[in-house]
């Protein structure tokens, strides 16, 4: 197992100064919205399902639970989180919320406060966090867009969290990889997302 993880590390270019931390065997909980829930897609097509299969094929000892709810916000995540932690006892939470807050123009300070509350509650449970950055269309203006998108690197630095700069990197904005709404990844786009998440996961953590 360690040898396999070592090979993966070499292939992704880990440096001696960025050694991954051990992650205990257990559940990876993905807390998100429709981008996690797999809007208009089958369970088999969702990136969380693909991630679970990828980890299994690599012999890595984690199973993935999809806790995505379409339309969810950071406030909804805070409401759902205690029961999710109690039910699944995750060793890692992939935190992928906030896009709907931004689309609705909620004040960045309010979004930040809720993300901080989510992070601190997850950490208090003993679980690790992989923070998935979110982006929004620029229709609310440059100032708001930059303030919103800047929350994720700011929080990753403040809480020393491994992070994904943008969950939909490589898929967003590509008509071949998104549904007709131009926002949600289609089945092909889900394959791009899972690769992004997988690479971030194995960069940050290794099997025990």
Q: What residues act catalytically?
A: 34, 181, 184
Provide the β-strand partners of residue 94. Answer: 30, 130
User: Burial, 117: exposed, middle or buried (Cβ in 10 Å; 0-12, 13-18, 19+)?
Assistant: middle
Do 132 and 95 touch, CB atoms closer than 8 A? Answer: yes
Closest among 100, 50, 38 to 75, alpha carbons compared: 100
Q: Using CA of residue 137, residue 141, residue 142, residue 143, what is the dihedral sign?
A: negative
User: Rounded to whole angstroms, how far apart are CA atoms 87 and 85?
Assistant: 6
């Amino acid at each position: 197992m360690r040898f396999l993880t070592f090979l993966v590390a070499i292939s992704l270019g880990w440096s001696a100064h960025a050694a991954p931390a051990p992650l205990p065997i257990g559940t990876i909980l993905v807390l998100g919205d429709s981008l996690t829930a797999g809007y208009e897609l089958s369970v088999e097509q969702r990136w969380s399902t693909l991630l679970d299969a990828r980890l299994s094929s690599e012999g890595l000892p984690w199973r993935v639970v999809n806790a995505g709810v379409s339309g969810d916000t950071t406030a909804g995540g805070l409401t759902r989180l205690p029961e999710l932690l109690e039910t699944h006892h995750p060793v890692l939470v992939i935190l992928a919320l906030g896009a709907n807050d931004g689309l609705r123009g909620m004040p960045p300070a309010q979004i930040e406060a809720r993300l901080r509350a989510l992070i601190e509650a997850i950490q208090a449970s003993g679980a690790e966090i992989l923070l998935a950055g979110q982006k929004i269309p620029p229709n609310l203006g440059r100032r708001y867009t930059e303030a919103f998108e800047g929350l994720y690197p700011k929080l990753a630095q403040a809480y020393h969290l491994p992070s994904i700069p943008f969950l939909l990197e490589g898929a967003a904005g590509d008509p071949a990889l998104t549904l007709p709404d131009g926002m949600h990844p289609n089945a092909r786009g889900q394959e791009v997302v899972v690769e992004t998440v997988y690479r971030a996961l194995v960069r940050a953590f290794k099997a025990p």
